[in-house]
């Protein structure tokens, strides 16, 4: 049987020598072997790794040995960063333990088997678990060279086998919401394959948007695309037919959620604390929005630009303004790659009938969403200035990066607002509060789904009801995608707010330290130190800031 594991590990950069060619410390050696162990699963014919019961049990049985090996390493003279590297490895071991014992997506979650991705994620790896091999169309250069044509053909040929094995692996699943919402990712996969076949697919990556040009594509590739789509459509229909038979809970429950946040995400907040904090942020954002509206009551409203050419011109001006602002405030150092990364993500015009929550706001002013798109600066840094520590160079497994990546990007929306980005665009501040309210509402909903208090339909209605101005539709593809993701990956729905609050804490701690030392506070030095720690849980960054 196939049930493969996608642990969201980015491919090694060719700019760096293979790990085997570099001298390693005992901790670095263990880390390299650990990553190999996670991926070392026996192959299933025609698809990917075998994730049957026996293979799972063997992996789980081996975890105590990895914990013991980690504890046996001599820690004499370790720096705080090395201590935290060990904690990060321990968190990954805990994450694999949780993955094998509790989450079990290969046996519970049909969406696990959606493996074709058109767009690059704006975080360091895939959001949520997905079966290997991941087929990242954005990672190819188009039109395809002959070698890439053969490689993509081979990858797409795994899709039918993956989906056939999924039917066996999922036989015992009773997670009702994972089934009722499970066809969504496969409908999108089918659409992606159809667009790829007819040459109309547009891909989004760090380099911006570009067409997946099928010029010169081989007959074998075209056949593999067609067969993958046929298998995808058949699986979609099977999930829809099976969904009414599945009646069990889909959330992991509060006790498991608390264990996961403490031992894997290294978060200081359990379920109850998260509920309190997210409710506070929802209240604060809505109250602040209404005060902003009162402040701006005499100003003319923002008028959406309905001409795509004029909108594109305005969006480019906004992107330049934002890039200059980040440098002027000292939040981000000036680098050609960071400017290029944000320029590539400049907002595009979206017709009114096609707008979702984010494009409603971007239609009025793209700056708030662009502030969140500092994600792409992070990805550009990973490409052009990878972390010198080999343990921190790849993304942490199991979405351990969520608080750091999603939370810090969310925080940037309010940080740049408070630093003056909208001083001459006051209505932009209203949009920032609306975005925060939306994230707090959807995070609260995700908590109640994980606690098995709400189903996804109820979560979607709450999510939309508490988003101001009617910009969120519970029946939309976006709301369905978000709530399903947050069910599939515990802690992700709350990470936008919790990571933001943890960045606030880091800034406050550094401010206090500067006051105690009678030194001026430097925003540029503070952000430089925080970002230099890499993409690790904020609790580890806090440890390292204390040593500086």
What are the sequence ranges of the domains in the chain?
A: 256-546
Instruction: Quote the pLDDT of residue 48.
Output: 67
CA separation for the pair 185, 340 (Å, rounded): 31
Q: What is the pLDDT of residues 164-200, one digit of tens each?
A: 989 999 999 999 999 999 999 999 999 999 999 999 9
Q: What is the pLDDT of residues 240-265, one digit of tens each?
A: 999 999 999 999 999 999 999 999 99
Instruction: Quote the pLDDT of residue 22.
Output: 55
270 has pLDDT over 90:
yes
209-214 long-range contacts, CB within 8 A, separation 24+: 209/344, 209/348, 210/142, 211/142, 212/118, 212/137, 212/140, 212/142, 213/142, 213/143, 214/143
Instruction: Quote the pLDDT of residue 43.
Output: 59
11 has pLDDT over 50:
no
Confidence at 40, pLDDT banded by 50, 70, 90: low
Percent of the chain with pLDDT over 90: 91
Instruction: Quote the pLDDT of residue 56.
Output: 81
- CB 245, CB 177: distance < 8 Å: no
Q: Mean pLDDT across the stretch 86-97?
A: 98
Torsion over CA of 378, 381, 387 and 392, rounded to 10 degrees?
30
CA 405 vs CA 212, 270, 326: distances in Å = 28, 19, 18
Q: Mean pLDDT across the stretch 48-73?
A: 89
Instruction: Quote the pLDDT of residue 18.
Output: 41
CA separation for the pair 488, 14 (Å, rounded): 32
Question: How many CB atoms within 10 Å of residue 429?
Answer: 23
123 has pLDDT over 90:
yes
The answer, yes or no, to whether the previous bond of 436 is cis (omega within 30 of 0) is no
Confidence at 339, pLDDT banded by 50, 70, 90: very high
Q: What is the pLDDT of residues 453-502, one digit of tens each?
A: 999 999 999 999 999 999 999 999 999 999 999 999 999 999 999 999 99
Confidence at 152, pLDDT banded by 50, 70, 90: very high
Q: Which of 444, 432, 453 is nearest to 482 (CA)?
A: 444
Instruction: Quote the pLDDT of residue 6.
Output: 42
15 has pLDDT over 90:
no
Instruction: Quote the pLDDT of residue 47.
Output: 56
Cβ neighbors of 384 (< 8 A, separation 6 or more) are 335, 337
Q: Find the DSSP H helices in 208-307.
A: 219-242, 254-263, 271-295
pTM, whole model, 2 decimals?
Answer: 0.94
Instruction: Quote the pLDDT of residue 17.
Output: 40
Q: Mean pLDDT across the stretch 305-330?
A: 97
CA separation for the pair 152, 155 (Å, rounded): 5
Instruction: Quote the pLDDT of residue 285.
Output: 98
Cβ neighbors of 442 (< 8 A, separation 6 or more) are 459, 463, 479, 482, 483, 486, 493
SS3 for 173?
Answer: coil
Q: Which of 144, 152, 307, 133 is nearest to 210 (CA)?
A: 144
214 has pLDDT over 60:
yes
CA 317 vs CA 312, 324, 343, 396, 419: distances in Å = 9, 11, 10, 35, 19
Cβ neighbors of 514 (< 8 A, separation 6 or more) are 520, 521, 522
96 has pLDDT over 90:
yes
Q: Mean pLDDT across the stretch 509-525?
A: 96
What value does the mean pLDDT of the chain take?
93
Instruction: Quote the pLDDT of residue 13.
Output: 35
């Amino acid at each position: 049987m196939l049930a493969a594991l996608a642990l969201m590990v980015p491919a090694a950069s060719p700019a760096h020598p293979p790990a085997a060619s570099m001298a390693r410390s005992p901790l670095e050696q263990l880390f390299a072997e650990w990553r190999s162990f996670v991926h070392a699963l026996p192959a299933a014919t025609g698809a990917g790794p075998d994730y049957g019961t026996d293979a799972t049990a063997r992996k789980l049985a081996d975890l105590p040995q990895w914990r013991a090996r980690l504890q046996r390493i001599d820690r004499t003279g370790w720096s705080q960063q090395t201590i935290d590297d060990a904690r990060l490895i321990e968190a990954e071991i805990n994450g694999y333990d949780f993955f094998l014992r509790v989450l079990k997506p290969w046996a519970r979650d049909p969406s696990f088997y959606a493996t074709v991705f058109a767009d690059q994620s704006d975080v360091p790896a895939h959001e949520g678990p997905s079966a290997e091999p991941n087929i990242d169309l954005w990672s190819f250069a188009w039109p395809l060279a002959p070698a890439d044509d053969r490689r993509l053909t081979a990858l797409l040929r795994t899709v039918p086998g993956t989906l056939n094995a999924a039917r066996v692996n999922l036989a015992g699943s009773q997670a009702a919401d994972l089934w009722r919402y499970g066809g969504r990712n496969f409908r999108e996969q089918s659409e992606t394959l159809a667009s790829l076949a007819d040459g109309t697919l547009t891909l989004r990556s760090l380099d911006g948007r570009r067409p997946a040009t099928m010029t010169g594509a081989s007959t074998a590739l075209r056949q593999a695309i067609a067969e993958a789509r046929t298998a995808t459509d058949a699986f979609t229909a099977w999930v829809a037919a099976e969904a009414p038979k599945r009646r069990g809970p889909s959330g992991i429950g509060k006790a498991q959620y608390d264990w996961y946040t403490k031992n894997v995400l290294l978060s200081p907040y359990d379920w109850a604390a998260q509920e309190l904090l997210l409710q506070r942020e929802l209240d604060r954002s809505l109250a602040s929005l209404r005060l902003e509206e009162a402040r701006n009551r005499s100003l003319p409203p923002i008028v959406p630009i309905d001409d795509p050419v004029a909108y594109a011109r305005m969006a480019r001006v906004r992107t330049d303004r934002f890039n200059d602002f980040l440098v002027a405030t000292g939040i981000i150092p000036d680098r050609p790659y960071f400017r290029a990364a944000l320029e590539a993500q400049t907002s595009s015009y979206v017709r009114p009938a096609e707008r979702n929550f984010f494009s409603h706001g971007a239609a009025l002013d793209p700056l708030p969403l662009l502030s969140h798109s500092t994600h792409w600066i992070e990805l550009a840094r990973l490409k052009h200035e990878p972390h010198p520590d080999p343990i921190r160079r790849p993304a942490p497994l199991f979405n351990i990066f969520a608080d750091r990546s999603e939370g810090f990007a969310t925080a940037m929306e309010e940080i740049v607002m408070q630093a003056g980005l909208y001083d001459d665009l006051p209505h932009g501040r209203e949009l920032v509060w609306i975005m925060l309210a939306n994230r707090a509402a959807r995070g609260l909903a995700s908590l109640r789904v994980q606690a098995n208090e709400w189903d996804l339909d109820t979560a979607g209605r709450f999510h939309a009801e508490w988003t101001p101005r009617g910009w969120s539709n519970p029946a939309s593809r976006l709301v369905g995608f978000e709530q399903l993701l947050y069910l599939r990956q515990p802690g992700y729905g709350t990470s936008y707010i919790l990571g933001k609050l943890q960045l606030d804490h880091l800034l406050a701690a550094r401010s206090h330290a500067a006051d105690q030392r009678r030194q001026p506070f430097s925003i540029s030095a503070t952000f430089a130190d925080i970002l230099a720690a890499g993409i690790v849980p904020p609790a580890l960054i806090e440890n390292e800031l204390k040593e500086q």
